[in-house]
């Protein structure tokens, strides 16, 4: 009995300690903190070691559902984390990890994040985020300015107005896109006469009142899957996200879009929104936004631009013209955690019209009261962290010209890599980079010749084999753990739109050198030669 009491007392003291006394500098946690703050890259390079463990093996380390019944010392726990979690993590900040939109972060982010987490402000309401609320409104103003370039007086008028919002922060592009379409839906099906609006009465009554037989969202075939999620959540239905084919440059075909608009209108289906993509996730291309704005105007519908990945390009004066027309969008999605070197959890949307958000306004008596400046009255999410601080700091520390330099270099590097692929006799460039993203595949020279001259049946047969080869090479490269490119399946213009498996490269890390790119291609070449022997069907072509 006495020992039980003694243990309880020890636990109580320990719990008090974890809230009051930091770990000593010579403890495991203290040493890790020092290592991370002095040399994060070295730390990650040293500690991420088991890169080729299979996922199912890793699952064996995380299959115990028992709730811990005894407190664990932080240091003991750190050893456990390093051993099981860190060592088997993905080295996304490695300069040879060029497969995804997640990459390296500048050093100062670490300290800033610690400060942000330490402050633990909740941006849903002013009562838990005084200072952070005005800061977030300012950052939204800056991002709004990046897109819409309004006069200074516009920002003075709207930035801190309680009943208006220039935009909203959220966890990412998905929630930003949902928010955009939510606002669009509620503004389209707004209160009118005795009808109290879709927000209060639901879609069924809204359709009855307005006399529509359905709603549609139009986007190119390269649109992001989050639009389907949005349609699902908003009661519009995934099948009513209509994919318009793209041209050979992966941009929406405006002629086909117009035909579809006419067809839908004749069927009494109201177009809720035309969504332009500025930087498609798979190929990095930008839709003709100006033309889309014209069509949206013609059909009097909402125009949203999903610039989750590509939007940050507006910071580059050199490449800003590629996104011309974006300033005519009703709303724009931008992910700061993609190209702006902010850690994950930093998505945002900006609205052309600061009154647009009144369509989704919500209140509660204990917080976000009417007329108060709480950000939570105009956001989908409730409790939210102060990620705006990181965007704010990055904008100041890196600055617009700094971002421009990083983006311009990334795009130049992508073009260099595309040239390497073009010049290599055994590779085939599938999509040329418009920004810093490109796709390609390995095709032995002899096979390329057959593809050029062969019948479409032969082509199809070979492409099936090449898909298998691409998949094997990509998996092996990932398992080797030296470098990483991703893969996706896209309709390739040069094969009459046949779905083709390709390598996908995103050049976001400023430390990815040209030498690294040469090495990555070389490694793929070697892996390809080994892998072809695993596919005896290739024998008749090489």
With residue 331 as reference, give the H or E element that holds it: strand 331-335
Q: How far is the CB of 79 from ligand PLP (least distance, A)?
A: 33
Q: How far is the CB of 170 from ligand PLP (least distance, A)?
A: 9
Q: How far is the CB of 221 from ligand PLP (least distance, A)?
A: 13
Structure tokens at 378: 């105009």
Q: How far is the CB of 345 from ligand PLP (least distance, A)?
A: 9
Q: How far is the CB of 228 from ligand PLP (least distance, A)?
A: 11
User: What is the DSSP-derived secondary structure letter of residue 340?
Assistant: S
Nearest to 272 by CA among 189, 392, 396, 167: 189
With residue 525 as reference, give the H or E element that holds it: helix 514-532
Q: How far is the CB of 437 from ligand PLP (least distance, A)?
A: 10
The residue among 463 and 509 lying less far from ligand PLP, judged by its C-beta, is: 509
Structure tokens at 369: 């009261």
The residue among 286 and 389 lying less far from ligand PLP, judged by its C-beta, is: 286
Backbone φ, ψ for residue 363 (5° rounding)? -135, 160
The residue among 306 and 330 lying less far from ligand PLP, judged by its C-beta, is: 306
Structure tokens at 472: 């094997």
Integer distance in angstroms from the first to the last C-alpha of the chain? 79
CB-CB contact of 99 with 506 (8 Å) = yes
Give CA 270 to chain center in angstroms.
Answer: 29
Q: How far is the CB of 123 from ligand PLP (least distance, A)?
A: 18
Backbone φ, ψ for residue 352 (5° rounding)? -60, -45
Q: How far is the CB of 101 from ligand PLP (least distance, A)?
A: 6
CB-CB contact of 431 with 285 (8 Å) = yes
Q: How far is the CB of 344 from ligand PLP (least distance, A)?
A: 8
With residue 409 as reference, give the H or E element that holds it: helix 400-423
Q: Which residues contribute to the site for ligand PLP (CB under 6 A)?
A: 172-174, 177, 224, 226, 277, 281, 306, 308-309, 335, 347
Neighbours of 418 (CB within 10 A): 18
Q: Classify strands 167-170 and 215-220 as parallel, antiparallel or unpaired.
A: unpaired
Residues 6+ apart with CB under 8 A from 209: 189, 192, 195, 201
CA–CA separation, 99 and 101 (whole Å): 7
The residue among 182 and 309 lying less far from ligand PLP, judged by its C-beta, is: 309
CB-CB contact of 287 with 323 (8 Å) = no
The residue among 348 and 521 lying less far from ligand PLP, judged by its C-beta, is: 348
Strand order in the sheet with 331-335: 167-170, 347-351, 331-335, 302-306, 270-277, 215-220, 241-244
Q: Tokens 């032969």 map to which residue?
A: 458
Q: How far is the CB of 236 from ligand PLP (least distance, A)?
A: 17
The residue among 88 and 177 lying less far from ligand PLP, judged by its C-beta, is: 177
The size of the chain, in residues, is 542
- Please, how many CA atoms are within 13 Å of residue 456, restricted to the half-sphere of its CB? 5
The residue among 347 and 385 lying less far from ligand PLP, judged by its C-beta, is: 347
Nearest to 312 by CA among 439, 435, 492: 435
CB-CB contact of 377 with 362 (8 Å) = yes
Q: How far is the CB of 92 from ligand PLP (least distance, A)?
A: 14
Q: How far is the CB of 172 from ligand PLP (least distance, A)?
A: 3
The residue among 172 and 410 lying less far from ligand PLP, judged by its C-beta, is: 172
The residue among 335 and 523 lying less far from ligand PLP, judged by its C-beta, is: 335
The residue among 96 and 177 lying less far from ligand PLP, judged by its C-beta, is: 177
The residue among 177 and 524 lying less far from ligand PLP, judged by its C-beta, is: 177
Q: Classify strands 270-277 and 215-220 as parallel, antiparallel or unpaired.
A: parallel
The residue among 142 and 277 lying less far from ligand PLP, judged by its C-beta, is: 277
């Amino acid at each position: 009995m006495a020992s039980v009491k003694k243990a309880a007392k020890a636990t109580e003291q320990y719990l008090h300690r974890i809230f009051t006394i930091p770990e000593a500098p010579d403890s495991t946690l203290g040493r890790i903190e020092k290592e991370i703050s002095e040399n994060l890259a070295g730390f990650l390079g040293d500690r991420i070691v088991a890169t080729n463990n299979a996922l199912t093996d890793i699952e064996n380390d995380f299959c115990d559902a028992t709730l811990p019944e005894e407190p664990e010392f932080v240091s003991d726990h750190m050893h456990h984390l390093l051993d099981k979690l860190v060592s088997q993590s993905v080295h996304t900040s490695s300069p040879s990890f060029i497969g995804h939109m997640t990459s390296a972060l500048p050093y100062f982010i670490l300290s800033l994040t610690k400060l942000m987490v330490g402050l633990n402000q909740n941006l849903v309401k002013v009562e838990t985020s005084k200072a952070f609320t005005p800061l977030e409104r300012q950052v939204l103003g800056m991002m709004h300015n990046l897109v819409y370039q309004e006069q200074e007086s516009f920002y003075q008028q709207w930035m801190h107005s309680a009943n208006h919002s220039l935009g909203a922060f959220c966890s990412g592009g998905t929630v930003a896109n949902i928010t955009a379409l939510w606002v669009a839906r509620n503004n389209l099906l707004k209160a009118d006469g005795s009808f109290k609006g879709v927000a209060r009465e639901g879609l069924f009554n809204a359709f009855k009142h307005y006399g529509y037989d359905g709603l549609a969202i139009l986007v190119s075939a390269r649109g992001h899957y989050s639009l389907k999620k949005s349609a699902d959540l908003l009661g519009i239905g995934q099948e009513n996200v209509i994919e318009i084919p793209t041209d050979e440059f992966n941009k929406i075909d405006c002629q086909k879009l117009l035909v579809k608009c006419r067809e839908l209108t004749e069927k009494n289906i109201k177009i809720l929104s035309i969504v332009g993509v500025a930087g498609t996730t798979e190929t990095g291309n930008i839709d003709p936004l100006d033309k889309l704005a014209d069509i949206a105007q013609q059909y009097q519908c909402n125009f949203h631009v999903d610039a989750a990945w590509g939007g940050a390009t507006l910071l580059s004066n050199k490449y800003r013209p590629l996104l011309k027309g974006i300033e005519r969008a009703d709303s724009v999605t931008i992910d700061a955690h993609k190209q702006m070197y902010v850690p994950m959890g930093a998505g945002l949307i900006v609205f052309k019209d600061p009154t647009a958000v009144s369509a989704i306004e919500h209140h509660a008596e204990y917080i976000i009261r009417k007329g108060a400046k709480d950000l939570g009255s105009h956001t989908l999410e409730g409790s939210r962290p102060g990620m705006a601080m990181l965007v704010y700091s990055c904008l100041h520390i890196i600055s617009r010209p700094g971002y421009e330099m990083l983006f311009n270099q990334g795009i130049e590097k992508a073009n260099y890599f595309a040239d390497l692929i073009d010049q290599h006799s055994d590779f085939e460039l599938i999509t040329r980079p418009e920004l810093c993203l490109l796709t390609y595949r390995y095709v032995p020279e002899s096979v390329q010749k057959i593809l050029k001259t062969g019948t479409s049946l032969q082509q199809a047969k070979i492409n099936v084999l090449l898909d298998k080869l691409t998949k094997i090479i990509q998996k092996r490269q990932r398992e080797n753990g030296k470098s990483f490119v991703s893969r996706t399946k896209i309709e390739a213009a040069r094969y009459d739109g046949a779905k083709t498996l390709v390598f996908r490269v995103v050049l976001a890390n400023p430390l990815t050198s040209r030498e690294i790119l040469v090495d990555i291609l070389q490694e793929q070449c070697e892996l390809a030669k080994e892998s072809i022997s695993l596919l005896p069907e290739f024998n008749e072509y090489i």
